[in-house]
Amino acid sequence: MLSPQSENNTLKNRQHYDRRYSNSNIHRALRISNNVNEFLDKVTYADTSWVCMYYGDFRERIQGKKILELGCGNCFNAVVMASLGAQVYANDISDKSGEIIEAINKEADFEFPIQYIQGDFLRIKDLPEDFDYVVGKAFLHHLTHEQELEFLRKIVSSLKKDGEVRFVEPAVNNKFLDKLRWAIPVSGRPSSFQSKKFKMWLSKDPHPIRDNSGKHFKQLGLQFFNEINIYSVGAIERFHRLFPDNDTNKKFRNFAYKIELIFPNFLRYELARTQTVIYKLPRKPNSNP
């Protein structure tokens, strides 16, 4: 039984994403499906969330694999994985995602149509227990720590013994940079210096106040997995906001990703804006570390 705070967080997220995905772009999803490798070549060039999601050789490894995506949202990533030949099962707290998948499956030519798993993940019964991968793109930070722990416990029970979990999450490893981030206003979010407006925005924001550090995700993973890898991105890329949203911006971001590779690990970790969290070698319930 979850606490009232966690239950309220679930309701808040459902309402927020019902509104957000009520007018999702099905046509764009279909265009992605028809040109999946061209799409990935573009977004893994300059879009941080896609760079992190497809870090390493993930694109090449998923053909024919059984994948559960949590927080599938607008379903673009589910479409990409299905277009690459994966058997995709997708879940989201918003039923709008299920409507999107139903519409996409009618038009797209997938080897394996996307299977939508409806409802609150923690309440789903008879979940398959043979997934090769469980993924989430900007997902975990929408959960309270209490919910997050229960999700990981259930995820472990759903994986093959050599299964892998891959999450793309914000990285908050430096308190000064975090305060600076909130102080700078962006579209739809006022500066933290605008106290009243900021508090009003915060009350409507679907993200709970929680720890999103690499240290937290490592400690979380060690409770259920024997191998944890964290790939940190954004030490330089975070300054892309100083450039107009055009080709110069994209070129800067791509340049930043490459330059960051020469940074020592501790510096990339400290200054990162985003992180790929990879959990491997799951420990099934009642197994020893």
What's the rounded mean pLDDT across residues 1-11?
90
50-57 long-range contacts (CB < 8 A, ≥24 apart) are: 51/233, 51/257, 52/168, 52/231, 52/233, 52/274, 52/275, 52/276, 53/77, 53/135, 53/137, 53/166, 53/168, 53/276, 55/231, 55/276
Place of tokens 């058997």: 87
pLDDT at 140: 96
pLDDT (tens digit per residue) in 206-245: 899 999 999 999 999 999 999 999 999 999 999 888 888 8
Instruction: Give the pLDDT band (50/70/90) at residue 263.
Output: very high
Instruction: Go through the domains of the chain in sequence order and give each one's CATH number.
Output: 4-172+211-234+272-282 (3.40.50.150)
Instruction: Please determine, for residue 289, whether its predicted confidence score (pLDDT) is greater than 90.
Output: no
Kindly write down the DSSP assignment for every residue of 176-239, as one continuous string.
Answer: HHHHHHHHS-BTTB--TTSHHHHHHHHHH-SSPS----HHHHHHHHHTTEEEEEEEEE-TTGGG
Query: What is the pTM (predicted TM-score) of this model?
Result: 0.93
pLDDT at 205: 87
Instruction: Give the pLDDT band (50/70/90) at residue 158.
Output: very high
Instruction: Please determine, for residue 11, whether its predicted confidence score (pLDDT) is greater than 60.
Output: yes
Among residues 223, 233, 224, 221, the alpha carbon closest in space to that of 278 is found at: 221
pLDDT at 203: 85
